[in-house]
Structure 1
């Protein structure tokens, strides 16, 4: 059957509008994702550099494995407590001013960790870093929803979140070299680590004030047509993705206490346990089966899992957007991570153990980038800022618990094997719970209406 000229013209117009929107989306991505990636690199660097500092800090300050793990636990307790109010502040005063202020504050706090002299002072300084850094990740995740509809967010999340494995790999090599500055100008190697990796956040925070725009309508680098296309796509996405239960909820509190939001929190808790283990313990894990290696060699070996992770995150995020499938793109990498931890626990061959760490890192980070495309499907727009921060905060209880549990298990068993099993069990549980999440295929944004 031959289509009428009117239908053909309408179809061509819709296709043209979609193509035009994709061009605008690429422009927005080039402007924001690269910049936010650099900011996240600095954020994550200041969060995980204590893992490398621990290679020499523990002996210098006389810390046990439990005490060292407790420093990270205190960091995450502060991080959890301040995440929700921080996101509320971002929604009120705007990302540009809030994120810029946070970066300056945590940069100063992280740098000051070089003044730690014992366990107590280290705890206090890590609490300060946790307070100041709490709002960055949930704030940026909220900020991305102001610019990208759900159908484009897996690739945006992946390109932004590869900052985590990139930083872990980059810092692995960099931190191993910085520790070699031990004794220069009277400072220990770990003190140089906090100094050289903390100050760049302060400088980048100043840049944020002049670079970011809070909303598309404020962006001078978009013309009026481009602003209109972005806003239409976001409005249509908001109407399509908000569930009826959330729309009909009597209050924001009723939304946030719904069983679906609790399920998101539990899944993220299981996932974050592995993320925390990779972030804090990877250098010490790698050293545990390469005891004769130098700190610089440990740094290079610890970078291998992160390289594998970056590749899988990009490929997996693009595949999820192209197929418009989320559930199995979340569950399968979680199971891959569980298999990686079990492989590491059961093998005594260093090469096989390193492969296991690679699988655990690749699977968990790929799952995280997909996970954060889904919570808004259970939240109305009014509850999104607090809801994202709540899921992040509750999930990050895993970040507070994991260092303490793994440190205790390490002291008890004199190996990381029991910690690997603990992480694997939680990932399997998280994957099973993820099968029950209210996840639907994201609709392509309508820009022609």
Structure 2
């Protein structure tokens, strides 16, 4: 089956790349357990530095995806991984607030475009009816990076003093090197379009090329979308703000979750394993929402359910002083935290195609990732001013709920849209 061949060729590579990206993006949350004291970072300074990554990220994301659409995913995704791997490795040289800010800012520039680039790449290879399911597999990379990365990161911290290096330095070294290696693997294995797929038979290549071209024509309705028109489209702004509401919870919680759990009186090693529990729940949530979204064709409804539910669970966690009850609420929040991803990222493909789709995905992701600036800063600021994490968690939950009504702005796909297009039988 054509789709199976494509999936086995690319999806493991994309999952692995995104796994390493998210790991390199948030491993600073574990490094902070010892690094902050070593280099003199306050909670507010750490929150700002953790978030500044997203400021430079969003400024360069749209240009990155436009370039990817022109030069192809093969070389551009490999370039992204190589440069961010090198900069992540340089985090071992952080010595104070300014160097922390500078390297986090450079990391944002280096990584810009990876996630929207992969989403765009998948739109070139997978027909509409498969996108949420394939997307759910791809988005598993985020919680898996915590399930695996959390205990592994805590073990790297335990290497403190080996060869004269701090444990947090070993963490950055050992989690950056696989990224650099993966950049070369991507360059060798990826292909830019179905027409270049030598791993398919000629009949399979022709079928997939025709299928993807037909769906692109159905979305465009026979007309292209200019880049400026896409950037001004109210649907792009609405999608960006909706995702922003989800992202402030994602990064606001995950950058501080090890510190929240550390407050239960656990060791660094125990923190690593307990921190992984919400991510185990998130794996189940992503698969559930991706599957049910494809089965029902309902994208907006399940996005609304996931974002609303995680906000409710997060708010409930602040009511429990008991660590076990609080952790249970955070695990429940984990189930819904990434559930919106697969149905959400299946929505832009219904409105745009080609370079316009690449621009729309990058623009939406850019707006959304401003939540990566806001979420950690709010958590750090309220932690420093109130002495607890509860007010920060409530603020994140409230911000997420505010964006849910924006889903009403997104019109249902019309007859000419991809969701309504006739589905050809598979080869």
Q: TM-score range by the shorter chain?
A: over 0.9
Q: What is the DSSP-based 3-state SS (H/G/I as helix, E as strand, rest coil) of the residue aligned with 2:95?
A: coil
Deviations 1:322-371 (A, max 9, x none): 22221211111111101111111122121221122222222120102221
Structure 2 gap ranges (5+): none
Map of 2:189 onto structure 1: 211
Query: Does 2:43 correspond to 1:65?
Result: yes
Q: What's the TM-score once normalised by structure 2's chain length?
A: 0.95
Map of 1:361 onto structure 2: 334
Query: Does 2:160 correspond to 1:182?
Result: yes
* Structure 2 CA distance for aligned equivalents of residues 24 and 59 of structure 1: 53
Q: What is the DSSP-based 3-state SS (H/G/I as helix, E as strand, rest coil) of the residue aligned with 2:338?
A: helix
* Structure 1 CA distance for aligned equivalents of residues 45 and 79 of structure 2: 31
Q: What is the DSSP-based 3-state SS (H/G/I as helix, E as strand, rest coil) of the residue aligned with 2:66?
A: helix
Map of 1:133 onto structure 2: 111
Map of 1:232 onto structure 2: 210
* Structure 2 CA distance for aligned equivalents of residues 305 and 362 of structure 1: 7
* Structure 2 CA distance for aligned equivalents of residues 243 and 359 of structure 1: 42
Map of 1:442 onto structure 2: 419
Correspondent of 1:403 among 345, 367, 376: 376
* Structure 1 CA distance for aligned equivalents of residues 308 and 124 of structure 2: 32
CA RMSD of aligned residues (A): 1.7
* Structure 2 CA distance for aligned equivalents of residues 392 and 339 of structure 1: 24
Deviates more, 1:164-173 or 1:315-324: 315-324
Map of 2:250 onto structure 1: 275
Pairing of 1:346-385 with structure 2 (within 5 A): 346-385=319-358
* Structure 2 CA distance for aligned equivalents of residues 242 and 350 of structure 1: 52
Are the aligned partners of 1:243 and 1:379 in contact in 2 as well (CA < 8 Å)?
Answer: no
Are the aligned partners of 2:230 and 2:359 in contact in 1 as well (CA < 8 Å)?
Answer: no
Q: What is the DSSP-based 3-state SS (H/G/I as helix, E as strand, rest coil) of the residue aligned with 1:46?
A: helix
- Relative to structure 1, the CA distance from residue 210 to residue 62 in structure 2 (aligned partners, 3 Å threshold; closer, same or farther) is same
- Relative to structure 1, the CA distance from residue 134 to residue 397 in structure 2 (aligned partners, 3 Å threshold; closer, same or farther) is same
Map of 2:30 onto structure 1: 52
Alpha-carbon distance, 1:445 to partner:
5.5
* Structure 2 CA distance for aligned equivalents of residues 380 and 210 of structure 1: 27
- Relative to structure 1, the CA distance from residue 243 to residue 412 in structure 2 (aligned partners, 3 Å threshold; closer, same or farther) is farther
Map of 2:310 onto structure 1: 337
* Structure 2 CA distance for aligned equivalents of residues 415 and 439 of structure 1: 43
Deviates more, 1:26-35 or 1:155-164: 26-35
Pairing of 1:257-276 with structure 2 (within 5 A): 257-276=232-251
Query: Does 2:198 correspond to 1:220?
Result: yes
Are the aligned partners of 2:57 and 2:108 in contact in 1 as well (CA < 8 Å)?
Answer: yes
Correspondent of 2:170 among 192, 197, 213: 192
- Relative to structure 1, the CA distance from residue 164 to residue 342 in structure 2 (aligned partners, 3 Å threshold; closer, same or farther) is same
* Structure 1 CA distance for aligned equivalents of residues 406 and 318 of structure 2: 24
- Moved segments of 4+, more than 4 Å: none
Map of 2:139 onto structure 1: 161
* Structure 1 CA distance for aligned equivalents of residues 322 and 217 of structure 2: 53
Map of 2:78 onto structure 1: 100
Are the aligned partners of 1:41 and 1:166 in contact in 2 as well (CA < 8 Å)?
Answer: yes
Q: What is the DSSP-based 3-state SS (H/G/I as helix, E as strand, rest coil) of the residue aligned with 1:346?
A: coil
Query: Does 2:230 correspond to 1:255?
Result: yes
* Larger Rg over CA atoms: 1
Q: What is the DSSP-based 3-state SS (H/G/I as helix, E as strand, rest coil) of the residue aligned with 2:145?
A: helix
* Structure 1 CA distance for aligned equivalents of residues 18 and 313 of structure 2: 26
What number of residue pairs does the alignment pair up? 422
* Structure 2 CA distance for aligned equivalents of residues 448 and 70 of structure 1: 51
Structure 1 gap ranges (5+): 1-22
Correspondent of 1:297 among 243, 246, 270: 270
Map of 1:31 onto structure 2: 9
Deviations 1:296-319 (A, max 9, x none): 000000011111110121122112
Alpha-carbon distance, 1:248 to partner:
7.4
Are the aligned partners of 2:252 and 2:378 in contact in 1 as well (CA < 8 Å)?
Answer: no
* Structure 1 CA distance for aligned equivalents of residues 137 and 215 of structure 2: 21
Q: What's the TM-score once normalised by structure 1's chain length?
A: 0.90
Alpha-carbon distance, 1:438 to partner:
2.5
Are the aligned partners of 1:334 and 1:427 in contact in 2 as well (CA < 8 Å)?
Answer: yes
